[in-house]
Amino acid sequence: MKNKHNQQVKTSASNRFDMSSFEVSLQQLNDLLTDESGFYSWPTKHFHEVYPRIYVGNAFVATNVMRLKRLGITHILNAAEGNSFMHVNTSAEFYAGTGIIYHGIPASDTDHFDISVYFEEAADFIEKALAYKNKKGKVYVHCREGYSRSPTLVIAYLMLRQNMDVHTALAMIRQKREIGPNDGFLRQLCRLNQRLSSEGKLWNK
Protein backbone atom coordinates (compact mmCIF):
# COMPACT_ATOMS: atom_id res chain seq x y z
CA MET A 1 0.00 0.00 0.00
CA LYS A 2 1.26 3.46 -0.84
CA ASN A 3 2.07 5.66 2.09
CA LYS A 4 1.51 9.30 1.23
CA HIS A 5 3.14 10.76 4.36
CA ASN A 6 0.33 13.33 4.75
CA GLN A 7 1.30 14.98 1.51
CA GLN A 8 0.25 18.59 1.24
CA VAL A 9 -0.53 19.69 -2.30
CA LYS A 10 -0.17 23.36 -3.07
CA THR A 11 -2.73 24.71 -5.49
CA SER A 12 -1.16 28.08 -6.21
CA ALA A 13 -0.88 29.26 -9.79
CA SER A 14 2.89 28.93 -9.62
CA ASN A 15 2.62 25.22 -8.87
CA ARG A 16 0.19 23.78 -11.37
CA PHE A 17 2.04 20.63 -12.37
CA ASP A 18 0.62 17.30 -11.33
CA MET A 19 2.06 16.32 -7.96
CA SER A 20 0.97 12.70 -8.31
CA SER A 21 3.95 11.98 -10.54
CA PHE A 22 6.17 12.76 -7.55
CA GLU A 23 4.54 10.40 -5.10
CA VAL A 24 7.14 7.84 -4.20
CA SER A 25 6.50 4.68 -2.25
CA LEU A 26 8.87 2.66 -0.13
CA GLN A 27 8.07 -0.35 -2.30
CA GLN A 28 9.17 1.44 -5.47
CA LEU A 29 12.56 2.27 -3.95
CA ASN A 30 13.05 -1.23 -2.58
CA ASP A 31 12.22 -2.60 -6.03
CA LEU A 32 15.14 -0.56 -7.41
CA LEU A 33 17.46 -2.02 -4.76
CA THR A 34 16.63 -5.70 -5.24
CA ASP A 35 17.15 -8.16 -8.06
CA GLU A 36 14.41 -9.97 -10.02
CA SER A 37 13.95 -12.43 -7.14
CA GLY A 38 13.54 -9.66 -4.58
CA PHE A 39 16.96 -10.18 -3.00
CA TYR A 40 19.35 -7.48 -1.83
CA SER A 41 23.04 -7.84 -2.66
CA TRP A 42 25.96 -7.17 -0.36
CA PRO A 43 28.71 -4.90 -1.80
CA THR A 44 31.19 -6.84 -3.92
CA LYS A 45 34.04 -4.36 -3.38
CA HIS A 46 35.31 -2.18 -0.53
CA PHE A 47 34.32 0.95 -2.45
CA HIS A 48 32.88 2.17 -5.75
CA GLU A 49 32.93 5.51 -7.56
CA VAL A 50 29.17 6.14 -7.69
CA TYR A 51 29.26 9.61 -9.27
CA PRO A 52 32.23 11.49 -10.74
CA ARG A 53 34.72 11.96 -7.87
CA ILE A 54 32.28 10.66 -5.21
CA TYR A 55 33.21 7.30 -3.72
CA VAL A 56 31.03 5.23 -1.40
CA GLY A 57 32.75 2.58 0.65
CA ASN A 58 33.42 0.90 3.95
CA ALA A 59 35.50 1.51 7.06
CA PHE A 60 38.32 -0.77 5.88
CA VAL A 61 39.40 1.72 3.23
CA ALA A 62 38.48 4.76 5.35
CA THR A 63 41.12 3.77 7.90
CA ASN A 64 43.78 2.97 5.30
CA VAL A 65 45.42 6.34 4.61
CA MET A 66 47.84 4.92 2.03
CA ARG A 67 44.93 3.51 0.02
CA LEU A 68 43.06 6.83 0.24
CA LYS A 69 46.12 8.74 -0.95
CA ARG A 70 46.56 6.37 -3.88
CA LEU A 71 42.95 7.02 -4.85
CA GLY A 72 43.57 10.76 -4.66
CA ILE A 73 40.94 11.28 -1.94
CA THR A 74 40.97 14.86 -0.61
CA HIS A 75 37.89 14.69 1.66
CA ILE A 76 36.33 12.09 3.97
CA LEU A 77 32.70 12.11 5.06
CA ASN A 78 32.20 9.58 7.86
CA ALA A 79 28.46 8.87 8.05
CA ALA A 80 28.95 6.63 11.10
CA GLU A 81 31.11 8.68 13.47
CA GLY A 82 31.23 7.21 16.97
CA ASN A 83 32.92 4.56 19.05
CA SER A 84 30.33 1.78 19.26
CA PHE A 85 30.59 -1.46 17.30
CA MET A 86 28.18 -0.05 14.70
CA HIS A 87 30.22 3.12 14.19
CA VAL A 88 33.64 4.07 12.83
CA ASN A 89 35.82 5.84 15.38
CA THR A 90 37.80 8.25 13.22
CA SER A 91 38.09 12.02 13.51
CA ALA A 92 39.94 15.01 12.11
CA GLU A 93 42.85 13.97 14.40
CA PHE A 94 42.96 10.55 12.75
CA TYR A 95 43.77 12.23 9.41
CA ALA A 96 46.03 14.93 10.85
CA GLY A 97 49.08 15.49 8.66
CA THR A 98 47.61 13.62 5.69
CA GLY A 99 46.10 16.66 3.96
CA ILE A 100 42.71 14.91 3.96
CA ILE A 101 39.80 17.09 5.12
CA TYR A 102 37.42 15.24 7.45
CA HIS A 103 33.79 15.65 8.44
CA GLY A 104 31.87 13.29 10.71
CA ILE A 105 28.14 12.61 11.10
CA PRO A 106 27.06 10.39 14.03
CA ALA A 107 24.31 8.44 12.26
CA SER A 108 23.02 5.07 13.46
CA ASP A 109 21.76 2.52 10.95
CA THR A 110 18.30 2.03 12.42
CA ASP A 111 14.82 2.64 10.99
CA HIS A 112 13.98 5.24 13.65
CA PHE A 113 17.18 7.32 13.36
CA ASP A 114 16.53 10.71 11.72
CA ILE A 115 19.38 11.01 9.25
CA SER A 116 17.48 13.72 7.34
CA VAL A 117 18.67 16.37 9.81
CA TYR A 118 22.14 15.85 8.30
CA PHE A 119 21.12 15.99 4.61
CA GLU A 120 22.01 19.65 4.07
CA GLU A 121 25.22 19.44 6.13
CA ALA A 122 26.41 16.40 4.16
CA ALA A 123 25.42 17.95 0.81
CA ASP A 124 27.37 21.11 1.67
CA PHE A 125 30.47 19.11 2.55
CA ILE A 126 30.30 17.01 -0.63
CA GLU A 127 29.73 20.12 -2.74
CA LYS A 128 32.77 21.84 -1.21
CA ALA A 129 34.85 18.70 -1.65
CA LEU A 130 34.06 18.50 -5.37
CA ALA A 131 34.84 22.21 -5.85
CA TYR A 132 38.19 21.86 -4.01
CA LYS A 133 41.32 23.04 -5.86
CA ASN A 134 39.54 24.04 -9.04
CA LYS A 135 37.24 21.00 -9.08
CA LYS A 136 40.00 18.49 -8.41
CA GLY A 137 38.60 17.21 -5.10
CA LYS A 138 37.55 13.61 -4.50
CA VAL A 139 35.33 12.67 -1.57
CA TYR A 140 35.13 9.26 0.12
CA VAL A 141 31.74 8.86 1.83
CA HIS A 142 31.65 5.90 4.16
CA CYS A 143 29.93 4.20 7.06
CA ARG A 144 30.83 0.77 8.40
CA GLU A 145 29.92 -1.23 5.31
CA GLY A 146 29.10 1.46 2.73
CA TYR A 147 25.62 -0.03 2.44
CA SER A 148 23.00 2.13 4.20
CA ARG A 149 24.11 5.36 5.87
CA SER A 150 26.70 6.60 3.39
CA PRO A 151 24.68 5.93 0.20
CA THR A 152 21.69 7.64 1.83
CA LEU A 153 23.72 10.84 2.26
CA VAL A 154 25.00 10.69 -1.32
CA ILE A 155 21.45 10.19 -2.66
CA ALA A 156 20.37 13.26 -0.64
CA TYR A 157 23.28 15.23 -2.13
CA LEU A 158 22.25 14.30 -5.68
CA MET A 159 18.69 15.41 -4.92
CA LEU A 160 19.62 18.65 -3.16
CA ARG A 161 22.52 19.80 -5.35
CA GLN A 162 22.04 18.00 -8.68
CA ASN A 163 18.22 18.30 -8.72
CA MET A 164 17.67 14.58 -9.27
CA ASP A 165 14.48 12.94 -8.11
CA VAL A 166 14.89 10.10 -5.62
CA HIS A 167 14.37 7.35 -8.22
CA THR A 168 17.08 8.69 -10.51
CA ALA A 169 19.56 9.29 -7.69
CA LEU A 170 19.02 5.91 -6.04
CA ALA A 171 19.09 3.98 -9.33
CA MET A 172 22.30 5.74 -10.40
CA ILE A 173 24.12 4.71 -7.23
CA ARG A 174 22.64 1.19 -7.27
CA GLN A 175 24.02 0.72 -10.81
CA LYS A 176 27.51 1.37 -9.45
CA ARG A 177 27.34 -0.29 -6.02
CA GLU A 178 25.19 -2.80 -4.16
CA ILE A 179 23.39 -0.74 -1.48
CA GLY A 180 20.45 -1.18 0.89
CA PRO A 181 19.45 1.87 2.94
CA ASN A 182 17.05 0.86 5.72
CA ASP A 183 13.35 1.58 5.30
CA GLY A 184 13.45 4.52 7.72
CA PHE A 185 16.12 6.21 5.61
CA LEU A 186 14.17 5.49 2.40
CA ARG A 187 11.07 7.10 3.91
CA GLN A 188 13.11 10.20 4.76
CA LEU A 189 14.37 10.35 1.17
CA CYS A 190 10.74 10.05 -0.02
CA ARG A 191 9.83 13.02 2.17
CA LEU A 192 12.76 15.01 0.78
CA ASN A 193 11.53 14.13 -2.71
CA GLN A 194 8.05 15.45 -1.88
CA ARG A 195 9.42 18.68 -0.46
CA LEU A 196 11.75 19.36 -3.39
CA SER A 197 9.07 18.49 -5.93
CA SER A 198 6.54 20.80 -4.26
CA GLU A 199 9.18 23.56 -4.43
CA GLY A 200 9.76 22.82 -8.14
CA LYS A 201 13.41 21.92 -7.57
CA LEU A 202 13.60 18.57 -9.36
CA TRP A 203 14.42 18.48 -13.06
CA ASN A 204 13.07 15.00 -13.67
CA LYS A 205 9.39 15.91 -13.89
- The catalytic site residues sit at 143
Please tell me the distance from the alpha carbon of residue 8 to that of residue 205, in angstroms, as a whole number: 18
Question: Contact, 150 vs 141, CB < 8 A?
Answer: yes
Query: What would the DSSP string read from start to end of the chain?
Result: ----TTPPPP--GGG-S-GGGG---HHHHHHHHS-TTS-----SSSEEEEETTEEEE-HHHHT-HHHHHHHT--EEEETBBSSSTTSB---TTTTTTTT-EEEE-B---STT--GGGGHHHHHHHHHHHHHHHHHT--EEEE-SSSSSHHHHHHHHHHHHHH---HHHHHHHHHHHS-----HHHHHHHHHHHHHHHHTT--S--
